[in-house]
Amino acid sequence: MEETTAVRHEAQTGTRFGTRRQGASAGWARRQLRALSNVDPALRRSWLPVARAATVVTSPTKAWLLGQPFVELPDIGAFGEESRVRVDLEPFSGRYGAALLIDNQLDVAHFAYLHRDTFASPDGRAAPSREIVRQLWGFETKMTVPISARNDPAVAPEDHPVEQDRTTRYRYLAPFSVELELTYPAMGGSNVIVFFVQPETAERSAMYVTLLLEQPGGFAPDALADRVASEHRVVGEDLALQERFDDLAMPLDVTTECHVRVHRASLKLRRVLAQIVHAP
Ligand SMILES: [Fe+2]
């Protein structure tokens, strides 16, 4: 008979532990499932973005690694694409949980309630289905999302409809990076947005955001400034929610939170991070 119990208690500041019995077939094996804080010792065994994401493509991998690493740096092709305009936003530093910042970027369910003033479309309330392809220490997923393309300059003269589709590709690599490719079939062009998060203390993290932008005809200075301002507004909407969290650690026991089908990427994120925590 399968019997599962989960018990949580505060074991030490910033770290929660739970104990799960995995059933008779597992010999009542007990394993600890903890919440991942910014200062979890397991993070020492994977790379962290200790400097600007800018140097990812120029620094030798070893220079980025702390201790004995087992996660390689992401290889992001858009950094080398000459057609793209690169903009490094000023780092966003504050009272943030590193894993929670990444979870936010992977979540598609928040568009409808958090980004109503920027790109969320009324047609996007039902989250799209998506396949998730697991990779070593990460995963990739792609979907089409309805958006309100208020940042499309062709909307005002009614050359394009405001309601458009956007193809979104996410690539997550542990511990704290997301490469996001946003392709706009109606507007043309695509944005690649690279997020690296650096935990700084138990209660602080810095998020480094690099925009790699491309559109037909390139960007006039005003158009580029408008696009960057638009991305700032979107990030600001995300961070306003993150700043309201009391607990900055991410539960790795997936029974701690109430997950639904649309959280598949979030569940995968927790499982990848749990792999790092439990690696021998
Ligand atoms: Fe968001």
Domain limits for position 223: 6-278
How many angstroms separate the alpha carbon of residue 5 from the centre of ligand 1? 34
**Cross-sheet strand order for the sheet of 15-21:** 6-12, 15-21, 30-36, 250-251
Residue 147 near residue 112, CB atoms below 8 Å: no
How many angstroms separate the alpha carbon of residue 109 from the centre of ligand 1? 9
Residues in the chain: 280
How many angstroms separate the alpha carbon of residue 193 from the centre of ligand 1? 12
Each residue's pLDDT tens digit, 97-131: 999 999 999 988 888 788 888 887 777 666 677 78
How many angstroms separate the alpha carbon of residue 169 from the centre of ligand 1? 14
- 44: DSSP letter: G
Residue 227 near residue 213, CB atoms below 8 Å: yes
Closest C-alpha among 222, 160, 211, 206 to residue 185 = 160
How many angstroms separate the alpha carbon of residue 12 from the centre of ligand 1? 31
How many angstroms separate the alpha carbon of residue 170 from the centre of ligand 1? 13
**Alpha-carbon distance 68 to 121, whole Å?**
45
How many angstroms separate the alpha carbon of residue 117 from the centre of ligand 1? 12
Each residue's pLDDT tens digit, 52-96: 444 444 433 333 444 456 777 778 889 889 999 999 898 899 999
What percent of the chain stands above pLDDT 90? Answer: 38
Decide if 1 is inside a domain. Answer: no
How many angstroms separate the alpha carbon of residue 202 from the centre of ligand 1? 23
How many angstroms separate the alpha carbon of residue 230 from the centre of ligand 1? 12
Q: Map residue 122 onto helix, strand or coil.
A: helix
**What is residue 53's predicted lDDT score, i.e. its pLDDT?**
43
Closest C-alpha among 9, 13, 18 to residue 254 = 18
How many angstroms separate the alpha carbon of residue 65 from the centre of ligand 1? 29
Each residue's pLDDT tens digit, 150-167: 777 778 888 887 877 888
Q: Which residue has the tokens 């006039």?
A: 220
How many angstroms separate the alpha carbon of residue 88 from the centre of ligand 1? 18
Q: Which two tokens stand for residue 28?
A: 């009542």
Look at 192 and 126; give whichever has higher pLDDT: 192
Each residue's pLDDT tens digit, 26-38: 433 345 678 999 9
Question: The pTM is what?
Answer: 0.80
How many angstroms separate the alpha carbon of residue 186 from the centre of ligand 1? 22
Look at 48 and 39; give whichever has higher pLDDT: 39
Mean pLDDT over 181-203 rounds to: 89
Q: Which residue has the tokens 């749990």?
A: 274
Mean pLDDT over 198-223 rounds to: 91
In the structure, what pLDDT confidence band is assigned to residue 16 with cuts at 50, 70 and 90? Answer: very low
Decide if 91 is inside a domain. Answer: yes
**Alpha-carbon distance 254 to 252, whole Å?**
6
**Alpha-carbon distance 104 to 97, whole Å?**
11
How many angstroms separate the alpha carbon of residue 114 from the centre of ligand 1? 7
Decide if 188 is inside a domain. Answer: yes
CA distances from 49 to 36, 56, 72, 174, 176 (A): 17, 9, 12, 11, 8
Q: What is the CATH number of the domain that holds 221?
A: 3.90.380.10
How many angstroms separate the alpha carbon of residue 104 from the centre of ligand 1? 6
How many angstroms separate the alpha carbon of residue 245 from the centre of ligand 1? 15
**What is residue 160's predicted lDDT score, i.e. its pLDDT?**
81
Domain count, the chain: 1
**Alpha-carbon distance 124 to 85, whole Å?**
29
